[in-house]
Structure 1
Amino acid sequence: MLRSNTWAQIWSVIRVLSAALLAAAVVRQLVNTLEIASSNGRDIGVTLVNYFSYFTILSNLLSVIVLLWAAMWFWFRRRDEADEPPILARVLAATTTYMVVTGIVYNTLLRGIPLAPGTSIAWTNEVLHVVGPIILALDLFLGPLRRRLPWRAVATMAGLPIVWVAYTLIRGPLTTNPVDGAPYWYPYPFLNPNNFAGGYAGVSVYIIGIAIAVLAVGVLVIWIGRRRGASVEEEEAAEAAEAIEDATGHPPP
């Protein structure tokens, strides 16, 4: 059923609606953040850059893009395309990994941290940290026309998190916190070396732990995708056999 055209049509609509929900949550929370900054006379430019420095926001924006991409690909694909393009499959697998890890990290490390009243809107917070990860996890199991990726694709998933961590640690001590005036700003407390007696040594423990989580979830995502999806090798062999039959009028031996 999951590879039927009817199911693919249904799930493509679900992907578009999910993308709209995630986009609405990102935009609504951004508007709220900027309104608070403006009313308190904070630097709007820094506040805006800070907002898009959260891995949660980046992951959700990437989810919006890839869910819309997957739906549009299905509706406008060529008739001979039976499975996702390799690049779409890789980005979808990576985004699923990021969103699942985002959900895990938030609900294990960040949910209990108190925020200033009005800072976060309840429904947007749940959509970005809970609903979004669940949607991407369901897409892994229910999304149609999945392509089977090679195991080496796991390595490419580490690219964005590595760049983001480097950016965060470099920018952190160079940015004045627009809320309290502290001479540093970090999106998450576990990345702030000022929160640990050992400084960056304490941060490194969390970075290593999250890196392990990203790789573990990435392996799981690839494994599930390989069980559900079509093998690239099988697809190429089928295309080669079809080409031989078209050229010779006989099926290959």
Structure 2
Amino acid sequence: MRTLFVVLRIVVGVAVAVAIIAQLAHTVDFQRAAGATDVSFYVTNFFSFFTIDSNAASVVVLLVGAGLLLKQGVGNDAARDPLLFTTVRAAVVTYMVTTGIVYNLLLRGISLPQGQTVEWSNEILHVVGPLYLLLDWLFAPGRIPLNYRRLWAIVAFPIVWAAYTLIRGPFALDPVTGAAWYPYPFLNPVTSAEGYFSVTFYVILIALVICALGAGAIALSRRKPVTA
């Protein structure tokens, strides 16, 4: 069982890392072709996507998780993960599942402002990664029960990210187009139908989704892991 998840975590972690790098390289090339001379603005934008942040965190969690399984012993299914790792893992699972839900319900088919999308990378970041993180949380050995107070740790990053995005947006002016930059159309008060009212609605909606999924991840942690 542990050997299987060591392999799966390494394979998926590497695949997600390659997908991030491929999309970043394509984005930089796209902006240079469009006339950008200083690509630092676009690199900052790239790492301002919740999707990219969540997937980058998932690479770390998967590779660290694979290392923990090896350190604990391949045949030692009774070994348990540290509290800090389990909390971070629960947070990343929550973010990745949220990413998958939001993208596939709200953003699939919509052109995002990071340049032309690399299709295979897009599917790994928005479908494969989220699905595997959820399955890993359900079936991988080592998970320990979490207290519901850990929900604050799970929602902390999305709160900081949302504040950063909305504060930075009006000042993040694209050097080529001159337009304010937001990572997702529903967070842009200029293009949203009801301005900040629409943005507030979506922020609250996604916050509720994250809280619900985070609470669900904690609830699952308190049950005995499903084994094959």
Distance in 2 (alpha carbons) for counterparts of 1:203 and 1:155 = 23
Q: Which moved more, 1:107-116 or 1:212-221?
A: 107-116
Return the letter of the residue paired with 1:189: P
Corresponding residue for residue 110 of structure 1: 107
Q: Deviations over 1:164-209 (max 9, x none)?
A: 0011011100011245321x10000111111235422221100000
Residue of 4, 9, 12 corresponding to 1:10: 4
Equivalent residue for 1:19? 13
Q: When the two structures are superposed, what TM-score results if normalisation uses the length of structure 2?
A: 0.92
Q: Indicate the larger mover: 216-225 or 25-34.
A: 216-225
Partner Cα distance (2:193, 2:127) in 1: 32
Report the counterpart of residue 203 of structure 2 in structure 1: 207
Cα separation, partners in 2 of 1:46 and 1:115, compared to 1, 3 Å:
closer
Q: Where do 5+ consecutive residues of structure 2 fail to align?
A: none
Unaligned runs of 5+ in 1: 1-6, 230-253
Question: Equivalents in 2 of 1:51, 1:115: separation in Å?
Answer: 11
Residue 82 of structure 2: aligned partner: 85
Tell me whether 1:129 sits opposite 2:123 in the alignment.
no
Deviations 1:196-241 (A, max 9, x none): 3542222110000000000111111111111125xxxxxxxxxxxx
- Displacement after TM superposition at 1:39 (Å): 1.8
Residue identity in the other structure for 1:156: A
CA distance in structure 1 between the partners assigned to 2:162 and 2:112 by the alignment: 23
Structure 1 equivalent of residue 212 of structure 2 = 216
Give the Cα–Cα distance (whole angstroms) in 1 for the partners of residues 176 and 103 of structure 2: 22
Contact 1:19 1:68 in 2 (8 A): yes
Does structure 2 conserve the Cα–Cα contact (< 8 Å) formed by 1:34 and 1:47?
A: yes
Q: Distance in 1 between matches of 2:103 and 2:123?
A: 10
Which residue in the other structure is 1:236 paired with?
A: none
Query: Are the structure 2 counterparts of residues 197 and 134 from structure 1 closer, same or farther at C-alpha, using a change threshold of 3 Å?
Result: closer
Q: Secondary structure at the match of 1:145?
A: coil
Out of 140, 145, 159, which is 2:142 matched to? 145
Whether the aligned pair in 1 keeps the contact of 2:145 and 2:222 (CA below 8 Å) is: yes
Whole-angstrom distance in 2 between the partners of 1:217 and 1:228: 18
Of all paired residues, the percent bearing the same amino acid is 45
TM-score (norm 1): 0.83
For 1:171 and 1:112, how far apart are their aligned partners in 2? Answer: 26
8 A Cα contact 1:47 1:178, kept in partner: no
Q: Give the superposition deviation at 1:76.
A: 2.0
Q: Provide the residue aligned with 2:41 in structure 1.
A: 46
Cα distance in 1 between the residues matched to 2:30 and 2:5: 37
Report the alpha carbon displacement of residue 112 of structure 1 after superposing the two structures with TM: 2.7
Aligned residue type for 2:44:
V
**Alpha-carbon distance, 1:82 to partner:** 1.8
State the alpha-carbon separation in 2 of the partners of residues 41 and 200 from structure 1.
31
CA deviations over 1:141-183 (Å, ceiling 9, x no partner) = 111111111111112111000010011011100011245321x
Q: Does 1:188 align with 2:184?
A: yes
Q: Superposition RMSD on alpha carbons, in Å?
A: 2.0
Q: Distance in 1 between matches of 2:111 and 2:63?
A: 34
**Larger relative contact order (CA 8 Å, sep ≥ 6):** 2
**60, 72, 77: which is aligned to 1:65?**
60
State which structure, 1 or 2, has the greater radius of gyration over its C-alpha atoms: 1
Q: Return the letter of the residue paired with 1:39.
A: A
The residue number in structure 2 matching 1:28 is 22
CA distance in 1, matches of 2:2, 2:109: 39
